[in-house]
Amino acid sequence: MVPNDAAASLLAKAVLYDNEDLQMPPDGKLANNEIKILQQWIQTGATGPKTDIGPTEFSRLGDQTHLSQQAATHWAYQPVAPVEPPAADDSAWI
């Protein structure tokens, strides 16, 4: 991805499906409005969900606040914590 340059971004090119060898997602093209959102995100610097990029032309809420709220509770953004593995019967491993 090339932040601030959607035209040069390989990611933006892949979602357009213009190249038979470069198509993402592989199971089908995104809707045109989704492609435009992605292009706008790249063009505005590809900021993360903790940075509000302000209103977008296609945003249903008008800002990125909902992304920040989702990121705050999503498992992938939680700090790594120790986990106690389940006890195993030694004979099961033999």
CA distance 72 to 68: 6
Whether pLDDT at 52 is above 90: no
Element counts in the chain: helices (H) and strands (E)? 3, 0
Give the 3-state secondary structure of residue 22: strand
Quote the pTM value.
0.51
CA distance 59 to 84: 41
Compute the mean pLDDT over every residue in the chain, rounded to the nearest whole number.
78
- pLDDT confidence of residue 32: 92
In the chain, domain spans: 6-71
